[in-house]
């Protein structure tokens, strides 16, 4: 498997918590899919899980190539879903999927109470 792109991002959970408190549903609906919102809101501390998904979206954009946000890619074009086992999977929609072409997307998420990080590799 030859990598076609790689991206990594680190997010302070407090920053996402502030966005959730300040902008609430508007921030959620603009940035996350309905499935992501349902999952994160079901967690004991939703901000941690929103932060991990935000980091994954940023990491995916880096793996796909800088400037994607100006090329028709929306935040909701990059989605983190969970397999039954809990393993995160990156699903691309719309313009993000077009930019990725036939590349497979791999994602890894991690978080603490204060930080969330994601790494994405296109292969």
Q: Which residues are catalytic?
A: 62, 111
Q: Where are the alpha helices (DSSP H) in the chain?
A: 13-31, 34-41, 46-64, 94-100
Q: 5-12 and 78-82: which strand pairing?
A: unpaired
Residue among 37, 33, 8, 34 nearest 20 (CA): 37
């Amino acid at each position: 498997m030859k990598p076609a792109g790689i991206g990594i991002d680190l997010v302070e959970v407090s920053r996402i918590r502030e966005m959730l408190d300040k902008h609430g549903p508007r921030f959620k609906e603009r940035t996350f899919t309905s499935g992501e919102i349902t999952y994160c809101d079901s967690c004991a501390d939703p901000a941690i899980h929103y932060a991990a998904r935000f980091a994954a979206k940023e990491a995916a954009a880096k793996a796909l190539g800088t400037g994607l946000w100006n090329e028709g890619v929306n935040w909701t074009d990059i989605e983190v879903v969970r397999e039954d086992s809990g393993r995160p999977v990156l699903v691309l929609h719309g313009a993000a999927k077009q930019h990725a072409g036939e590349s497979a997307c791999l994602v890894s998420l991690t978080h603490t109470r204060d930080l969330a990080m994601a790494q994405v590799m296109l292969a």
